[in-house]
Structure 1
């Protein structure tokens, strides 16, 4: 695995970022943190166990994973941290506060600049609940305007431009580098009466105009722009949009072409809980996996001149874990079990039982 990592890093070190030259910048990217405030689990029991059995996120371990990640960044030379959405389990106000108090403020006090955007879980979410034995009860979530206010020290308060149609903004990271932070979520379509939280993403027409204007402005000034968005800009495997729609934004290829034409070459994304890089006609979608899903990855990025070097790192141990197998093996088995439960609902029941079982096990692995 180390050999593969070194080759992958070498290839990416020749990724052209922009025509203009940028002084060395060191940043980290972590996505889909999905932190669940410990206060939401008032008493462990059937309600939470039932939820966990149908979910592949290590929510019980989310606070410990967040702490381990925070410590790793504090011991690095990183000056900037980008988080492309799904900051919380389900948009609970207490989970947003927990993230800020236990991670973001610690890093900010150490001189690290942090930029965030919302994911589909983070705002106006009817699934924001607390668990108490056999019952679950809704708790406070946050609105779009409250999101911008809560994270005013993490991008929104210092943005050089804000989109009026979404929570998108532009941040001047260095004199020659800007971050185009894009909000493609549709939290205004969530339905509390029907208990629906909308997963797919799209960029509204007004937001597309905002993007085009901001990229044109940067190009005119010779400033490099890197994009950040929760949903994918490009498919990461063939037929992704057809088999599991909702993980790539609507109308993605024309939008990617427009962005590239206006000078954007890199979009940092998350959402799929997968670690991958793909490209389309010169624009790259650098997808970062989830901190609460195996293998708990994050990325370190160094930009030097017109080159971008990307390396992948993992959280392999956490303080709260004391199992008999390694935490890495535990997290892999947890992920496999989650996929197994998911595939039980997807693989046709008409299959012979023996074939169906083998198919589920094979696909989970």
Structure 2
């Protein structure tokens, strides 16, 4: 097997990458057609043949979809598939050598080493759901590489030709990102980034050319799903002159939003807002990077029109909450490329009741169908959970390992190797479950472990401790399904 088949030995991550996908970059700065070979990364090595790539003669596009039963169309509403934070990397931008492996191993949980297969499998799978639309709410690319956007757009074009309508909105990684890179051997080189004009051109057939209204101050637009339902696709990203992690909405865009709210009233249509960044404080620890700046203004506008639901991503964690006990609901869908590699299915009715649940991409089924010989794909359900756990273990461990003495409040203590290991393990167990929206399943037992008691005793590293405590406090339900009448 090629080098990337050993990615499961995950190590190290930087402190500010550890808690959520809203981080700007990893410690090693990161910068549907079926997966293809490398052609552009400068390398003297012979081209690597991927064991996961079937011969074109063996399969048809989206093979077998016609042999399985598709869901019936939803009556009285729209079935919406929500994907976010794919972080796709064009295959021509990596030879999967040492630098690429280091980027993955020192990352925040994204399985970039399998992003091609995960994306293909997800796009193939959702055809059976017979959705009215696929919404991709930002961070389509790894680090805004122009080629990554172009290659992903090719897959979206194939998906639309298969009968699935697609609309997209940018994320904080996607535009004017100086971290766009080519990975070759032990080196990385700058890749061509994506400008706002590039983004609109590349994805013009996935919302922009079909928009009901376009905002001239951002890449926001509205899209009519039907005569009675309209998407409000909000560009909450900051990318002038270069990208930033946090989200905000310009004054001019708020003026455009006001006009769209008024138009929706006049047209008698339901308005469903979508953005990359979070409307509510879904992450109590990383508010500045995850929640739209001054989002209370947007909340007030949406609740003033009795809009019940807001969709977002960015956090990489599966979550939902409601503003106070009577306001708007927000559903945050987790990253498609981060285990458990899932997406959301929303049934949004014309009376504005809705039902949402997640579905994990069935990678093992996809691997069998495509005659893969990759054991990690064939056994993805046992490969991916421990891989994510190892990433989070090392995030905690590396935050503690660099100094012999650790500051804990006004005291200085030396943490032993055993203490660091025990603390890292409990952090990994809790955080991995949190990403899947199921922290409630592990918290009761995890807090009984000696490592958790050490976190409470030492409160160090402070940001990790604060994040861990928030997860424990928040772990009261399964965040993978929500129904509102």
Q: Could you state the TM-score of these two structures normalised by the residue count of structure 1?
A: 0.86
- Equivalent pair of 2:228/2:350 in contact (CA under 8 Å): no
Tell me, yes or no, if the aligned pair for 1:215 and 1:264 is still in contact at 8 Å. Answer: no
Tell whether the 8 Å contact from 2:79 to 2:345 is kept in structure 1 after alignment: yes
Determine the C-alpha separation between the residues in 1 that align with 2:183 and 2:200. Answer: 27
Quote the RMSD (CA, aligned, Å): 2.0
| Contact kept? 1:343, 1:360, Cα under 8 Å | yes
| Displacement of 1:252 | 2.1
Name the stretch that deviates more: 28-37 or 216-225: 216-225
| Deviation for aligned residue 1:74 | 1.9
- Structure 1 Cα separation of the partners of residues 144 and 78 of structure 2: 31
Higher relative CO (Cα under 8 Å, sequence separation at least 6) belongs to 1
Corresponding residue for residue 204 of structure 1: 250
Residue equivalent to 2:476: none
CA distance in structure 2 between the aligned counterparts of 1:207 and 1:331, rounded to whole angstroms = 40
Which one is further off, 104-113 or 250-259? 250-259
- Secondary structure in 2 matching 1:312: strand
Task: Give the 3-state SS of the residue equivalent to 1:125 in structure 2.
Answer: coil
Could you give the per-residue CA deviations for residues 274-298 of structure 1, whole angstroms, max 9, x where no partner exists? 1111110421111101111011111
On the 8 A contact 2:169/2:219 being kept in 1, the answer is yes
Query: Separation in 2 of the partners of 1:336 and 1:210?
Result: 44
Q: Conserved in 1, the CA contact under 8 Å of 2:282 and 2:291?
A: no
The answer to whether the 8 Å contact 1:120/1:199 transfers is yes
Task: Note the residue ranges of structure 1 that are not aligned, 5 or more in a row.
Answer: 1-21, 191-196
Cα contact 1:216–1:262 (8 A) shared by 2: no
Which residue in the other structure is 1:33 paired with? 86
2:340 aligns to what SS in structure 1? Answer: coil
Match of 1:108 among 130, 138, 160: 160
Q: Normalised by the size of structure 2, how large is the TM-score? A: 0.65
1:266 aligns with 2:309: yes
Matched, 1:185 2:237: yes
Deviates more, 1:51-60 or 1:325-334: 325-334
- CA offset at residue 342 of structure 1? 2.7
For 1:47 and 1:322, locate their aligned partners in 2 and report how far apart those are by CA, in whole Å.
23
Matching of residue 358 in structure 1 with residue 422 in structure 2: yes
The aligned residue for residue 386 of structure 2 is 333
| CA spacing shift, 1:252–1:342, aligned 2, 3 Å | farther
Q: Choose which of 97, 102, 116 in structure 2 pairs with 1:63.
A: 116
- Residues of 2 paired with 1:309 and 1:128: CA distance? 37
Q: Which residue of 2 aligns with 1:234?
A: 280
Aligned length: 333
Render the CA deviation track for 1:169-212: whole Å, top value 9, x for unaligned: 1111110101000111111142xxxxxx5211111111112112
Gap regions ≥5 residues in structure 2 = 1-74, 407-412, 430-485
Offset from partner CA, 1:155-176 (integer Å, 9 cap, x none): 0111111112111111111101
- Tell me, in whole angstroms, the C-alpha distance in 2 between the residues paired with 1:311 and 1:355: 38
